[in-house]
Amino acid sequence: MEFLSQKKGFLGYDANKKIDPKVIVVPFGLEKTVSYGGGTKNGPKEIIKASHQVELFDEELNKEPYKKIGIKTLKPFPIKKNIKQALNQLSQINKQIISINKFPLVFGGEHSITPGSIEPIIKKYGDLTLLHFDAHADLRESYQGEKFSHASAIKRCLDFKNVKVVSFGIRNLSKPEMDFYNNNRDRVEIFWGKDKKIWDLTRIDKLFKNKTVYITFDVDGFDSSIMPATGTPEPGGLLWEDVLPIIKKVCQISKVVGADINELAPIKNFDSYNFLVAKLAYKILAYTFEFKN
């Protein structure tokens, strides 16, 4: 694995700080099946660029989390053109990362990356629960003739028999997806976007306590008012203060072993959206390692 210099990698902190890295960031700008707005291939580099403006001190945790964590960022590399080969490529990268007991944080690209990202994690840990933020259920069997579409990402994850998913913010899905959900309630839990004000978050304990967890965050889970820089922005979504308590609680009670953030389609001269995603990535890492046993 080849890495960017510390100054050019995620957060861009001082290269003179000798911190044993626990996290490896994987920029994986896959863009093969987008069906509305494009540009997700540029997401990783803009997240990394914006991260250099993120304050390293976390006022909530009263520390600079990166000093405990240590982060290395893979150098950008060519992504396979065939989507199945691309997913296998990502799977092999994450297999290497977890084989040396590091935490993979993947920056997409489109949401179709997730089944490839989790494959080696499932093989290592067995049962896996996905903490899934999204506007869309992504439970289609295929979309526009493509089985590995971004619209089928969670369905492909559920092809692994020992995977369960808990989704937050869903507010747009098809009739077949609703039928699949109703027929698989033992494996799929949805906190609907329309019910955000009445969510019973005490259920998080039952759903996640002592589980092995992977976080997959499609940025269109955020409301379109704060995240228009995505291929399919949706109204009625999540705000910053909706998301953080959920991630924090899950990190406190479970074992989070990897994550991806996907579907950022940067808009030129609107860096605030890239910054939001970079700060989200840092918060995910901060919570994960603050509560890691």
In what helix (H) or strand (E) does residue 217 lie, and over which residues does it extend? Answer: strand 212-218
14 belongs to a structural domain? no
In a domain, 18, yes or no: no
Judge whether 7 lies within some domain: no
Q: What is the CATH number of the domain that holds 153?
A: 3.40.800.10
Query: What would the DSSP string read from start to end of 106-138?
Result: EEESSGGGHHHHHHHHHHHHSSEEEEEE-SB--
pLDDT at 18: 73
Under 8 Å between Cβ of 256 and 215: yes
| Residue 116 included in any domain | yes
The answer to whether position 53 is within a domain reads yes
Q: Extract the tokens encoding 114.
A: 């997730």
Residue 78 has pLDDT above 60, yes or no: yes
The reported pLDDT for the residue numbered 215 is 98
- Residue 195: Cβ within 10 Å count: 12
CA distance 193 to 135: 8
Rounded-to-integer distance, Cα 181 and Cα 141, Å: 12
- Give the up-direction half-sphere exposure of residue 256: CA atoms within 13 A in the CB hemisphere: 27
Grade residue 20 by pLDDT with cuts at 50, 70 and 90.
Answer: confident
Within-domain flag for 6: no
Residue 151's pLDDT band (cuts 50, 70, 90): confident
Question: How many structural domains comprise the chain?
Answer: 1
Burial (CB count <10 Å: 0-12, 13-18, 19+), residue 216? buried
The most distant pair of C-alpha atoms in the chain lies apart, rounded to whole Å, by 55
Residue span of the structural domain in which 109 resides: 23-290
Per-residue pLDDT tens for 213-241?
Answer: 999 999 999 999 999 999 899 999 999 99
Residue 93 CA neighbour count, 13 Å, CB half: 30
- Could you tell me if residue 13 is inside a domain? no
Task: Specify if 122 maps to a domain.
Answer: yes
Q: Output the CA–CA distances (angstroms, integers) from residue 141 to 2, 110, 150, 180, in the order listed.
A: 36, 17, 11, 10
Asked whether residue 37 carries a pLDDT value surpassing 60, the answer given is: no
The residue-averaged pLDDT of 59-69 equals 95
Please say whether the beta carbons of 231 and 147 come within 8 A.
no
pLDDT of residue 33: 59
Q: Which among 144, 138, 145 has a CA at the least distance from the CA of 176?
A: 138
